[in-house]
Structure 1
């Protein structure tokens, strides 16, 4: 097993230099990613909001990112991706830093919403930069390494955040802001802007990268021409609703079971989550590298059904640590394969806009998650949320199966048509 683990890291050899820099940048940024990790606990335990109200504010924070994401997508395809990323994240970091001086003021909730809006401008820029720097041949390994770097940082961040929340709450905000600014220095000094030149676009047009070739039409026509991609993203947003319950239902469930210990226990579960990601991302990527992305995402849905569904009956702590391995495996597989699938089907001249529109669709599922679950849980035990979570995951799995069958039928029909044309020419 140890040899398999070591050998699995060889897949990260020979990647573009900038990918390694971005992996380090994400590590540094994630070490200080305190605020959103403990936002629910801050709203309920420090400010005193009820579960449904806290869920509503978290939803506002998530939805605040939608306008910025859409606007940024159009800007990223026309101007410097690097400049947009730096300006967005620096402004967001400064707002979070200022929250550290406000104690337990309700004003913090509004500033976090503003910070989310500003940060969202960087999302299409970041995704487009990764697509620019990679090819279909090294994309899965690159996404995997970036994901690994982020979670390695989170492993340290969660351990610190649980301690800071209970003892030095202001440092949740100061630490988040400072590490964000520090991570941006790596981008400033070591990464050039990646927006493709005319020559690079022509090179892709003349290659076999069919899904990435230049699209002359507008963003809406380009998306309509890719119905399988749109369907995949919608289903993925449903899975986003499922996955994000680990950050909403789980801390509430733990707090109900273990009064006044929920925050620390949730931090320890999430530390286990990130350790599993660090240890098993290379192995799982190696084992699933030859499996189609849509099938891999289906496997992830199954792990969510089992992992989250089992928590319905949990009244002790050990099931949380057992099931974290199950649903974290799904998280690893889904995150990497989703990013690869989208990049492989995004036109080179629409990368910013595609990532913004796709991000909007995905955001809808994630952003609605806290509010919908908060309303569902009113007057109910938190454990009831796992029943709904598993049911939604089952629906997503069925939809993925239908999509896979339809996609295979379409490809088979297209291949037959091509074969007939070649016979006619002959």
Structure 2
């Protein structure tokens, strides 16, 4: 997308104009007369998207070792629990510059090279942990892994924007999110199955998974379509100067905090209400299945007629409904019903949010724009544990979920104003 659109470009049928994030050069489309394409499906999406989704799912399937890092540090290398906590915190802090580094490299070196670099770096970090014989060696390996861990996220998201039309991006981003969610659940099952092994072997398996993913993408992912080298030297901080992106970043941080509070608070709520320990695993598995099974909703005519902000409004309302049910639920079937609602809401929110951010970004800066937006999750990861646990401790689960529901309702109400603020400036 470029910033050369004129006000006249936004005239006509609002279903065709929609918002600025739906304005792209016609090179992404085969239709000669501008007619609306049939809804995208897994089979009709570009092969690049399918390759990327499969490779990322395989990589996520192997990413079950972080749960065992603290165990390796304490049992294998003699660290105290407090020291292990500090190492894990250091890993988390290192992932923040990792994402920004990935966004910068995506726009400077190209998407494919950056993805392969990040995956290869993760493989090196995992191998180092597997071979570490001292605590300090494992600490350095964990920090290296953190610095590599998020590098491939921005270029992966940018690749999807590069090869799809805006109308098809929600489907593509939704499929990526669904595949990652399903692989994460499968990774948990795999971790439980192999946890009786020597824990060092688990890190070796993850390193092999990263290496295999990097090799697959090196062979199968097409070369980058764009030349980034010259443009990347100009306006490196342009994303931080774009008021539209900063506004989306602020709203995204609130949204991510609600979802992180959901992930952290739900297990504690289930325990507080006397439900069995397997409940959270079951709910997360159902949530992942809903994300996969609900993909056809993205292709229905009614949903395709919504612009991105209208779809976000719908997503936040579904999230609100699920959160309110969490506040009053006392048995597993009701919690499952809530999970179905907030999972469908998640489907709309994540796919449309990335579509909007990719749409306002210049082609040569998409990696940086997506990296900046992705920092919202890092901030939420720091805020949500404190807020959720304090509310649970001092006010109980009901107030936690009603507070989150109020925030989601406010975000839904904000979408029309957000659309007016962002679209006229393109």
**TM-score range relative to shorter protein:** 0.7 to 0.9
- The alignment of Structure 1 onto Structure 2 pairs a total of residues equal to 381
Which residue of 258, 266, 285 corresponds with 1:242?
258
Per-residue CA distance 1:234-269 (angstroms, 9 max, x = gap)? 21221111112343222333455569x63x432222
Aligned partners of 1:75 and 1:359: how far apart in 2? 15
Counterpart of 2:3 in structure 1 is: none
1:391 aligns with 2:403: yes
Structure 1 residue matching 2:45: 3-state secondary structure: coil
Which stretch of structure 1 is more off in the superposition, 332-341 or 175-184? 175-184
Aligned partners of 1:18 and 1:244: how far apart in 2? 30
RMSD, aligned α-carbons: 4.1
Distance apart, 1:21 and its partner CA: 0.8
Which stretch of structure 1 is more off in the superposition, 69-78 or 215-224? 215-224
Counterpart of 2:340 in structure 1 is: 325
Q: In 2 relative to 1, CA 335–376 (structure 1 residues): closer, same or farther, beyond 3 Å?
A: same
Aligned partners of 1:306 and 1:190: how far apart in 2? 42
Counterpart of 1:89 in structure 2 is: 119
Counterpart of 1:230 in structure 2 is: 246
Distance apart, 1:58 and its partner CA: 6.5
Aligned partners of 2:397 and 2:89: how far apart in 1? 17
Q: Any unmatched runs of 5+ in structure 1?
A: 1-7, 202-213, 416-426
Which residue of 60, 68, 73 corresponds with 1:30?
60
Per-residue CA distance 1:279-313 (angstroms, 9 max, x = gap)? 11222453522212222222222222222332234
Distance apart, 1:328 and its partner CA: 0.8
Which residue of 361, 373, 380 corresponds with 1:358?
373
Structure 2 residue matching 1:12: 3-state secondary structure: coil
Counterpart of 1:402 in structure 2 is: 414
Distance apart, 1:172 and its partner CA: 5.4
Counterpart of 2:210 in structure 1 is: 180
1:80 aligns with 2:110: yes
Structure 2 residue matching 1:11: 3-state secondary structure: coil
1:295 aligns with 2:325: no
1:69 aligns with 2:84: no
Aligned partners of 1:386 and 1:89: how far apart in 2? 41
* Cα contact 1:239–1:393 (8 A) shared by 2: no
Distance apart, 1:346 and its partner CA: 0.8
Aligned partners of 2:394 and 2:198: how far apart in 1? 30
Per-residue CA distance 1:156-180 (angstroms, 9 max, x = gap)? 3333334445x45836545443333
Aligned partners of 2:252 and 2:311: how far apart in 1? 12
* Cα contact 1:249–1:386 (8 A) shared by 2: no
> Counterparts in 2 of 1:276-295, with a 5 A limit?
276-286=290-300, 287-295=302-310
TM-score by length of 1: 0.74
* Cα contact 1:308–1:386 (8 A) shared by 2: no
Distance apart, 1:121 and its partner CA: 2.0
Aligned partners of 1:309 and 1:164: how far apart in 2? 37
Which residue of 243, 254, 268 corresponds with 2:282?
268
Aligned partners of 2:387 and 2:371: how far apart in 1? 24
* Cα contact 1:143–1:336 (8 A) shared by 2: yes
Counterpart of 1:154 in structure 2 is: 184
Counterpart of 1:308 in structure 2 is: 323
* Cα contact 1:69–1:120 (8 A) shared by 2: yes
Q: In 2 relative to 1, CA 96–146 (structure 1 residues): closer, same or farther, beyond 3 Å?
A: same
TM-score by length of 2: 0.74
Aligned partners of 1:110 and 1:316: how far apart in 2? 45
Distance apart, 1:337 and its partner CA: 0.8
Which residue of 120, 130, 141 corresponds with 2:171?
141
Q: Any unmatched runs of 5+ in structure 2?
A: 1-37
